[in-house]
Amino acid sequence: MKLRKVTAATAAVLALGLTATACGSDDGDGNGSGSSGGDKKITVGIKFDQPGIGQKTPQGYAGLDVDVATYVAKELGYNADQIEWKESKSADRETMLQRGDVDFIAASYSINEERQKKVDFAGPYLLAHQDVLVRADDDSIKSPSDLNSKKLCSVTGSTSAQNVKEKLAPKAQLQQYPTYSACLNGLQSKAIDALTTDDSILAGYASQANFKGKFKLGGFKMTNENYGIGVKKGSDLKAKINTALEKMVSDGSWKKAVDKNLGPAGYKNEPAPKIGDIKS
C-alpha cells in the first residue's frame, strides 16, 4: 500500500514537471512569440564599415540597413535585443546565405541576375546609383570617361568597379581593396584617384565629421542599384520580408530612416521602389 502511494506521488511530480516544461517551451512557429522568446535569436548580415548604411560603432550598430533590418525583424517577431548582427563583406554574402550563417542580409546588397542564381531577394527597398568620390581639390574627373588612366578603387566582390572597367572607362587602373574604408584611406593619401560605389554609400562617407570638405561626389548616375534583402534560395522568408517592407513604407518608417541616415549628407533619395520592381 505504501509502495503504491509513493508511486502515485512520483507520477504526479513527473506530470507536473512535464506540464511546466511544455508551458515554457517555444511554440515552434518561428516568429519569436513563444514564452521563451527571450532566448530566440535571428541572425542578420550587415556591413560594419559603411557610415549611413551599416556601421559598427562603440554605441552599437547604425545606418539605414540596420534600421530596415530591425524593422523587418520586429515584423517577423523578434525584438531588437534578439538580433545577432554579423559582418557581411561583399565577397562573402552569397556564401553566408548558402551555408546558413545568417537568416537574411541587408548590406547595400544590389540585386542582379548573377546573384539571383545563388540566392533570393526581397525588395528592393532603395534605388541608389553608382557614382564616384574624388578629392575636393581634384577637378580632373568631370565625367566617367575621365576615369581612363586613373587609379580607381572599389571592394573585392562589388559590381561597381567592373561596371566602370567594362562599360565606361576600360583603361582605368582598377584597384580592389577588401573594404570601402581601405579605399577611402587610399583616396585620402592619393594612392588612388577615385572611389566608386553607390551614391548612398559615398554620401555616408563624405558626411563624416572628420572628412567634411575633403571629398566630393562626381554626380554621375552611372547605374541603377536596387538594394534588396538577401535570403537563402527557396526560403519562405522572402514573402514575409516583402510584407514587412511594404508596411515600413506605408507607415512612414522608411522615409524617416532614409532622412535620418542619409539626409545629413544632402542625399536626394529616389522614391521608395515597389516590391519586385527592379530598375535596369
Whether residue 122 sits in one domain with residue 52: yes
Whether residue 164 sits in one domain with residue 85: no
Whether residue 209 sits in one domain with residue 196: yes
Asked whether residue 21 is domain-assigned, the answer is no
Domain boundary among 161, 192, 217: 217
Whether residue 200 sits in one domain with residue 162: yes
Whose CA is closest to 126, among 210, 209, 35, 229? 229
What pLDDT is stored for residue 28 in this prediction?
Answer: 35
End-to-end CA distance of the chain: 83
Mean pLDDT value of segment 214-236: 93
Whether residue 182 sits in one domain with residue 249: no
Query: CA 26, CA 242: separation in Å to the nearest integer?
Result: 25
Asked whether residue 270 is domain-assigned, the answer is no
Instruction: Please give the tally of structural domains in the chain.
Output: 2
What pLDDT is stored for residue 208 in this prediction?
Answer: 80
For the record, the C-alpha cell of 43 comes out as 541572425
Whether residue 96 sits in one domain with residue 81: yes
Asked whether residue 59 is domain-assigned, the answer is yes
pTM of structure: 0.76
38 band by pLDDT with thresholds 50, 70 and 90: low
Whether residue 168 sits in one domain with residue 91: no
Whether residue 209 sits in one domain with residue 154: yes
pLDDT over 50 (residue 33): no
Whether residue 246 sits in one domain with residue 173: no
Of residues 8 and 230, more confidently modeled = 230
Query: CA 22, CA 17: separation in Å to the nearest integer?
Result: 9
Whether the Cβ atoms of residue 198 and residue 111 lie closer than 8 Å to each other = no
Asked whether residue 29 is domain-assigned, the answer is no
Of residues 33 and 174, more confidently modeled = 174
pLDDT over 80 (residue 78): yes
For the record, the C-alpha cell of 86 comes out as 554579423
Query: CA 89, CA 65: separation in Å to the nearest integer?
Result: 14
Asked whether residue 209 is domain-assigned, the answer is yes
What pLDDT is stored for residue 80 in this prediction?
Answer: 97
Whether residue 123 sits in one domain with residue 151: no
Asked whether residue 26 is domain-assigned, the answer is no
Asked whether residue 34 is domain-assigned, the answer is no
Residue 164: which domain range? 129-217
Whether residue 229 sits in one domain with residue 190: no
Whether the Cβ atoms of residue 167 and residue 105 lie closer than 8 Å to each other = no
Whether residue 121 sits in one domain with residue 148: no
Query: CA 242, CA 72: separation in Å to the nearest integer?
Result: 9
CATH number for the domain including 200? 3.40.190.10
Asked whether residue 74 is domain-assigned, the answer is yes
Using the structure block, give the residue that is written with the C-alpha cell 515554457: 24
